């Protein structure tokens, strides 16, 4: 079935780069997404990538997609304390016409000053 896996925790120092990894199972996924959840808040869409792309860059964020290995990563350059949050990877299954997203468990990013 459809599944999305992420590591649960990542700790970095302020100013370093953060790389959050995700694997998914549905090779027919058309879009893959990264959402951010700050403490006490709902999820906020950070960025997304279409399945025929390898890379997408948006300011400090770089998304890499390896479709062969079904691996997605989010790199945050010059990580700041304000980046501390839970990051969710999500796929939009190709078999679904319902708009459903399959979310990973979320990776908690801790940024140390």
Partner 1 sequence: EAQVTQNPRYLITVTGKKLTVTCSQNMNHEYMSWYRQDPGLGLRQIYYSMNVEVTDKGDVPEGYKVSRKEKRNFPLILESPSPNQTSLYFCASSFTGRAGELFFGEGSRLTVL
List, in sequence order, every beta strand (DSSP E) within 7-101.
9-13, 18-24, 31-37, 43-50, 55-58, 61-66, 71-76, 85-91
The Cα–Cα gap between 42 and 1 comes to 27
- Tell whether residue 90 is a contact of partner 1 (CB under 8 A): yes
Tokens of residue 28, six digits: 């027919």
- Tell whether residue 40 is a contact of partner 1 (CB under 8 A): yes
- Tell whether residue 81 is a contact of partner 1 (CB under 8 A): no
- Between CA 2 and CA 105, with CA 102 as vertex, the angle to 5 degrees is 100
- Tell whether residue 49 is a contact of partner 1 (CB under 8 A): no
- Tell whether residue 34 is a contact of partner 1 (CB under 8 A): no
- Given candidates 45, 71, 95, 112, which one binds partner 1 under the rule CB under 8 A? 45
Residue 44 or 57 having the CB closest to partner 1: 44
Strand partners, 1: none
Contact set with partner 1 (CB under 8 A): 4, 8, 31, 33, 35, 40-45, 48, 88, 90, 92, 98-101, 103-106
């Amino acid at each position: 079935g459809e599944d999305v896996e992420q590591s649960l925790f990542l700790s970095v120092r302020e100013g370093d780069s953060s790389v959050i990894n995700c694997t998914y199972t549905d090779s027919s996924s058309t879009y893959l997404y990264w959402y951010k959840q700050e403490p006490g808040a709902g999820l906020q869409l950070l960025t997304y990538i279409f399945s025929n792309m390898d890379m997408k860059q948006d300011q400090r964020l770089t998304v890499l997609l390896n479709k062969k290995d079904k691996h997605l990563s989010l790199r945050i350059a010059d990580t700041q304390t304000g980046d501390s949050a839970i990051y969710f990877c999500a796929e939009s299954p190709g078999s679904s016409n319902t708009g459903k997203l399959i979310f990973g468990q979320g990776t908690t990013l801790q940024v140390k000053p």
